[in-house]
Structure 1
Amino acid sequence: MKQLITLFYLSFIIMNCNAQKKGEVFMTTDQAVGNITFTLKGDLVYSHHPFFEPGNRVMIYDRTTKTHQPFPNKEWNTPRETDDNYLSNILGIRNDKNGVVWMLDMAQRNDVTPKIVGWNTKTNSLERIYYLPVSAMPKESQPNDMVVDTKNGYFIIADEGIGNGGDGSKAAFIVVDMKTGKTRRLLEGTRTTLPENAPTIINGKHLAVKGKDLLVGNDGITADKDFEWIYYGPLNGTKIYRIRTVDLINEDLTENQLDSKIETYSDKPNNGGMSIDIDGNLYLTAIETNSVAVVLAKDLSMKTMIQDDNLVWPDGVSYNDVDGYMYVSAAQVNKGAAFNSGNDMSTKPFYVFRFKPLVKGVAFR
């Protein structure tokens, strides 16, 4: 009898571990979800992945009514020639503690200036627009994700360097002063922003354009709960790096001095999105294995948090302070037309999963 109880107990533990590793499907949509953030009420705001040229660039899912609507409204999702107060193409999207959702507009679909658009969800009104000038945005720029640092007063943007046929060699940081709007481009094409020669391989197939491996530079980025450290790394790369925020925003440091402040933090897989919890554990979307990995702060070892056959190209990962879950999108980017001889191989539905982090996550970063 004792052996039976022990076997039952072990089976129960294994079943629960497997259930945790598979994650939970929170919702499905008809279009690919890129990055995710939340309102203060816990409603999910998400970008439609720009690789699929969606009609509505950003959407909101109301947890109460369980309905999807364009965010902040239809007008902002409608291109026009009379002005540029609309969203061209959005991937990076973040919230802040004041209830403002910030959207990073790469502006690659329309002839408009790249910008960061902030929408105040408390007042349902435009908070502010920060324009990104040409000096910070060469033609190869593809500003992918960002940290919204309300403590120090800066947007810190990871630029992949693969826009308009770029090969990742001009990957960089873009830093924007929230008070003045002053914008600087930093560490372009340097050792920690450049992609490594570590091609993305999914189910034995290389992610390639016209037969050439796509190597993506500075991509995943997050900050700890106190905005003391910025963690980042190229999508195609084997290392996570970190730098103190005060160093990255210090205008008195030369590029060489800034580079010397960077620490190699841990190993990683080829990954897209990055998030963090209050203990400093880093959550990475491992694009080649349909999974979310975690780098443990205690020893820098890496574990699998969730893995699912439907988590194809896990992209954005963000924490919802209202319900205590991490959310992650499955964007199916590798199935897009650009990587399949002009044929869109993606399949509906597109998934958003959620899972419980090891400890409370960091919601505003």
Structure 2
Amino acid sequence: MKARHIMRTLAALLLIPLASSALAAEVQTAEVVATLPEAVGNITFTPDNRVIYSHHPFFSPDIRVAELDADRRSGRPFPNLTWNTPRKDSDHYLDSVLGLRGDAQGVVWMLDMGTRGGITPKLVGWNTRTDRLKRIYHISAPASRPESQLNDFAIDPVHSAFYIADEGIGPGGDGTQAALVVVDARTGASRRLLEGHASVRPEDVPISVDGRELRVPGSGGKPARLRVGADGIALDKDATWLYFGPLNGGWLYRVRTADLLDTSLDAATLGRRVERYARKPNNGGLSIDDAGNLYLTEVEHRAVGVIGADDRQYRRLATHPDLIWPDGVSFSPDGWLYVSAAQLSEVPVFNEGKARHRPPYYIFRFRSLASGRLGN
């Protein structure tokens, strides 16, 4: 015990993360499992191991969501072509999907941001066992705003709820109005929480890839720092803690689901109950295993890392030279973690008008430190 205490003290003084025995494994080289012609956003699974993924909405794909074919080089529209085809008489189609999650009942939930066609955001659940629509939850104002970009979400089967991260960078948004949205799965009611709180708002830190800072057109056409609010989001096994944070920022936060679901709490009280959990790099996707280890996609460095449950220290876990802008990360039924490489950093807006992104686009997998829930 004394030696362990001395080691921890020295590590703290030297600012060196002290890895536990569970985290002492070498960094893995991620394994390519699919080679595709279009950029992949997020990935999820059905209990019988069907692989469902979104085509990244940044590229305005014709097919919003697809199911991976057996050749792992192509995909077919999911749930079908009709749902991937815009229509004017109804919003029963997928407009702009990034986040999607599968549940234990075989329902694939797809988060339609609605930003491409300017329609009301919604959660669409498709039952893969019956091949039928399960339910639609519309996320209307004031739960969503014109500046909303509902990026990713977590399913809470214990409290029958969904928790959504709103980056706040939809049309006209600059991330300052980022928030969390809670949807009651029983009633369909939705609430907007923590809007503009430090835990969801982007910090003023650069996002740099290969030595270049990513900038976007700002006021007067001048380049401005890319700032993205609440992005990664994950729920622990017991549905007690929700973890989240902005893409730009050095902290991961958490809040009790009991507090998010307590409608008697005012904004100030809820804000005080949010906890800083651990230091992190700029990250996109987020997942958690059953032991409480958190997995983050490190968008600047072609890597996925982990924050250990025992020491709350971040370290790299998997890398690959082609893991360019790792985005969604998700558990498969056989225990692997899958991650996409969207190549967002290579698009013209970030490269003086030059398109550096190109096919093929990859889906990778790597080993987690412990098992995790399907699609989480």
Q: Are 2:208 and 1:201 aligned? A: yes
| TM-score (structure 2 length as normaliser) | 0.89
User: What is the TM-score of this pair, normalised by structure 1?
Assistant: 0.92
Post-superposition shift, 1:165?
3.0
Aligned to 1:355: 366
**Deviation per CA, 1:35-75, whole angstroms, max 9, x where unpaired?**
01001111110000000111100001145897521100011
Report the secondary structure of 1:166's partner residue. Answer: coil
| Partner SS, residue 58 of structure 2 | helix
Query: What amino acid does structure 1 have at the position aligned with 2:175?
Result: G
Q: Determine if the alignment matches structure 1 residue 239 to structure 2 residue 263.
A: no
1:105-124 superposed matches below 5 A: 105-124=112-131
For the structure 1 residues 23 and 55, does the alpha-carbon distance in structure 2 shift closer, same or farther, using more than 3 Å as the test?
Answer: same
Cα contact 1:31–1:349 (8 A) shared by 2:
yes
Question: 2:351 maps to what in 1?
Answer: 340
Q: Tell me the equivalent position of 1:9.
A: none
AA in 2 matched with 1:126: L
Partner-residue secondary structure (3-state), 1:216: coil
In 1, Cα distance between the equivalents of 2:59 and 2:237? 33
Amino acid at match of 1:360: S
Equivalent of residue 145 in structure 1, options 152, 157, 164:
152
2:288 paired with 1:281: no
Q: CA deviation at 1:328?
A: 0.3
Report whether the alignment pairs 1:264 with 2:271: no
- The CA distance in 2 between the partners of 1:128 and 1:165, in whole Å, is 30
* 1:327 is the counterpart of 2:338: yes
RMSD between aligned residues: 1.7
For residues 197 and 67 of structure 1, the distance between their equivalents in structure 2, rounded to whole angstroms, comes to 39
Report if the CA contact (8 A) 1:43-1:63 is conserved: no
Give the whole-Å Cα distance in 1 for the aligned partners of 2:176 and 2:27: 38
The 3-state SS of whatever aligns with 1:247 is helix
Per the TM alignment, residue 275 of structure 1 is displaced from its structure 2 partner at its CA by: 0.5
- Looking at structure 2, the residues matched to 343 and 201 of structure 1 have their Cα atoms a distance apart, in angstroms, of 17
Instruction: Report 1:1-365 matches (<5 A).
Output: 21-63=28-70, 68-210=75-217, 211-321=223-333, 323-363=334-374, 365=376
The DSSP-based 3-state class of the residue aligned with 2:171 is helix
The one-letter code of the counterpart of 1:334 is S
Tell me the distance in 2 between the aligned counterparts of 1:327 and 1:198: 28
2:298 alignment partner AA? A
- Secondary structure of the residue that 1:119 maps to in structure 2? strand
Q: Distance between the aligned counterparts of 1:283 and 1:149, measured in 2?
A: 19
Aligned partner letter, 1:359: A
SS in 1 for 2:192: strand
Deviates more, 1:147-156 or 1:332-341: 332-341
Compute the displacement of 1:98 (Å).
1.2
Letter in 2 for 1:361: G
Q: How many residues align?
A: 348
Q: Distance in 2 between matches of 1:22 and 1:290?
A: 11
Secondary structure of the structure 2 residue equivalent to 1:163: coil
Structure 2 gaps of 5+ residues are 1-23, 218-222
Q: Partner letter of residue 197 of structure 2?
A: T
1:221 partner letter: I
In 1, are the aligned partners of 2:107 and 2:125 still within 8 Å (CA)? yes
- Local SS of the residue matching 1:347: coil
Identity %: 49
Moved over 6 A (4+): none
Contact 1:44 1:63 in 2 (8 A): no
- The CA distance in 2 between the partners of 1:174 and 1:65, in whole Å, is 34
- The letter of the residue matching 2:284 is G
Contact 1:144 / 1:219 at 8 angstroms: preserved in 2? yes
C-alpha spacing 1:162/1:67, structure 2 compared with 1 (3 Å): closer
C-alpha distance in 2 between matches for 1:360 and 1:98 = 19
Q: Is the 8 A contact 2:233 2:287 kept in 1?
A: yes
Structure 1 distance, partners of 2:69, 2:240, is: 33
Contact conserved, 1:52 with 1:336, CA < 8 A, in 2?
no
Equivalent position amino acid for 2:243 in 1: Y
Query: How far apart in 2 are the matches of 1:165 and 1:200?
Result: 20
2:158 is paired with a residue whose SS is: coil
Q: Any unmatched runs of 5+ in structure 1?
A: 1-16
Deviates more, 1:257-266 or 1:331-340: 331-340
Deviation at 1:337, TM superposition (A): 3.2
Q: Does the 8 A contact of 1:51 with 1:336 survive in 2? A: no
Aligned partners of 2:132, 2:185: CA distance in 1, in Å? 18
Instruction: Report if the CA contact (8 A) 1:20-1:355 is conserved.
Output: no
Query: Is contact 2:37-2:74 (8 Å) kept?
Result: no
Rate the CA distance shift 1:19–1:260 in 2: closer, same or farther, 3 A: closer
Deviations along 1:315-359, one digit per CA (max 9) or x if unpaired, are: 0000012x2100000000111233234443211100110011011
Deviation of 1:82 (Å): 2.5
